[in-house]
Amino acid sequence: MSVYCPLIETNNVESIRILLECSTDVSVLDPSYNSNEALKFACEKSQKEIVELLLSDPRVDPGHNFSEIFPVACKSSSFEIIELLLDNPKVDLTKQSGAIFNFAIDRSFDIFKLLFGSPRITIDAELSATIVNRLWKRVHANLPTLCDEMRKICELFLTDSRTDQKCRDDEPIILASCFGFTDIVKKLLSNEKVDPVKAGIISYLVVDYFPIRVASYMHYTEIVNLLAKDTRIDLDKCIDLTTGNHIIGKFQGEMIAERIRSVQREIKEEKMQAARKKIQAVIEEIESVSKTREVVSKVKEAAREKMQAVREEMEAVSKAKEAAREKMQAVIKEMKNVHHAKKAEPKAKLDTLTKNQSPAPSFYKFKQCDNEIIVFTRAIVGIERISSACIKLYTNFDKKFYVCDDNDAYHAIVSKYGL
């Protein structure tokens, strides 16, 4: 026995510290004597301070026989000591991970959780296979009674993203089916690599359709429904393989088969109801389309009638425009006639006036422009009479009149005013 053990028994920390400082040249006082016996004893007695002292000594290598030290520490249920061992850089947790996880699974959920969350341990495919193998052995050995500790360990392991979902012949989906983890089963089924048919090895014999069988045996109806609806599972074949057989002496084949048949009937009924609803939906859609067509037809007819009314209105407008155009032409024609009549009226009146005067001029000339009238005559009397007539015309027609009595004067006026 190590000389440190009696001191550990009495929790004599100071004496152990003195011995560690003075024993560098004395082999009998080596704290690693007899395969770290002092460290194992300190872990067993849950002496945290002494464990820290021993681990700080360079001669103590807990990695040398960690597989022996760790179980002792776990049995003491001192998580502080377990954390000290896991954090020690001398311990290669990668090499030791399989063994310590197996022990943690057998021991408690809290220890497993502590290991599983350690940043120094890598959860790879190999370690996942080791863990799931140990879990399945524990679960299979205790079916149908499963302890709460094992349930929590499986749930923690299966929900972690680092876990290999297909390790050891799809045993994760078996574990999820055993414990009724519906969400986990659903997640695993969404993975194309997970095969719910070939999953399961019991005593080195492949047992087809084991997840749905064990879920049926454990009365997890929701999981059975999930598995039964998977296109990869042939329920008839599953029932045939199950009927009349016993699975590891505990799974009564006929009972399991009857439960699967019940689920099969429910699924068929659900499919029938879904088909009926689909047919009804199609009928309603057809009726809706028919009604829509009627509405569209009525809308088209109304639009057609409205277009006809618009055409008729446009024709009426066109006729009105044509009538207005004709009326406008008549007005223009009438205005032209009036204009011509007004232009001819001064000369006509002048002729009338000169013809009625006595004595009449021997002869006269008469020229009319837009606003100008020139009268030429040789008769003096005629000039005076024409002038008086011109004054009247000027008053009536707003024109300028020029009267001359010889031909030269006439031409002079025409030339001067540009008439």
Task: Phi first, then psi: give them for residue 231, nearest 5 degrees.
Answer: -65, -20
- Residue 366 phi/psi, 5-degree rounding, is -135, 125
Ramachandran angles phi, psi of 122, nearest 5°: -95, 120
CA distances from 20 to 50, 58, 112, 200 (A): 11, 10, 33, 54
- Residue 85 lies inside a defined structural domain of this protein: yes
In this structure, is residue 390 part of a structural domain? yes
Which segment of 43-47, 240-244, 364-368, 401-405 scores lowest on mean pLDDT?
Answer: 364-368
Are 143 and 183 spatial neighbours (Cβ–Cβ below 8 Å)? no
Of 194-203, 324-333, 393-402, the range with the lowest mean pLDDT is 393-402
Question: What percentage of the chain carries pLDDT values higher than 90?
Answer: 1
Sign of CA dihedral 184, 186, 191, 197: positive
CB atoms within 10 A of CB 63: 17
Residue with tokens 């699924």: 267
Asked if residue 31 belongs to a domain, the reply is yes
At 160, the pLDDT band (50, 70, 90 cuts) reads confident
Report which residue type is found at 133. N
CATH number for the domain harbouring residue 112: 1.25.40
In the prediction, which pLDDT does 204 show?
43
Q: Specify the higher pLDDT residue, 143 or 302.
A: 302
CB 31 within 8 A of CB 38: yes
Rounded mean pLDDT of 280-304?
Answer: 88
Q: Is residue 310 part of a domain?
A: no
Last residue of a domain, one of 76, 91, 120: 120
User: Residue 71 sits in which domain range?
Assistant: 1-120
pLDDT band at 64 (very low <50, low <70, confident <90, very high): confident
Q: Which pLDDT score is estimated for 79?
A: 82
Does residue 374 sit within a domain? yes
pLDDT at residue 68 in the model = 82
Q: Is the pLDDT of residue 7 over 60?
A: yes
Q: What is the mean pLDDT of residues 111-115?
A: 87
Q: Domain boundary at 99, 120, 141, which?
A: 120
Three-class SS of residue 339? helix
Phi (first) and psi of residue 375, to 5 degrees = -115, 130
Q: How many domains does the chain have?
A: 2
Tokens of 75: 């049995």
- Return mean pLDDT, the chain: 76
Domain finish residue from 120, 153, 185: 120
Is the pLDDT assigned to residue 302 strictly greater than 60?
yes
Residue 236 in any domain: the answer is no
Specify the pLDDT at position 411: 67
Q: Is residue 113 part of a domain?
A: yes
Predicted local distance difference test score (pLDDT) of residue 359: 44
3-state secondary structure (DSSP) of residue 32: coil
Least confident of 9-13, 52-56, 237-241: 237-241
Give domain status of residue 260, yes or no. no
43, 12 Cβ separation under 8 angstroms: no
Residue 254: pLDDT band (50, 70, 90) is low
Percentage of the residues of the chain whose pLDDT score is greater than 70: 70
Max Cα–Cα distance, the chain, nearest Å: 184
Please answer whether residues 132 and 165 qualify as being in contact, where contact means their C-beta atoms are separated by less than 8 angstroms.
no
Name which of 396, 400, 392, 359 is nearest 377 in CA terms: 359
Cα→Cα distances 361→375, 378, 379, 381, 390, Å: 12, 7, 5, 7, 15
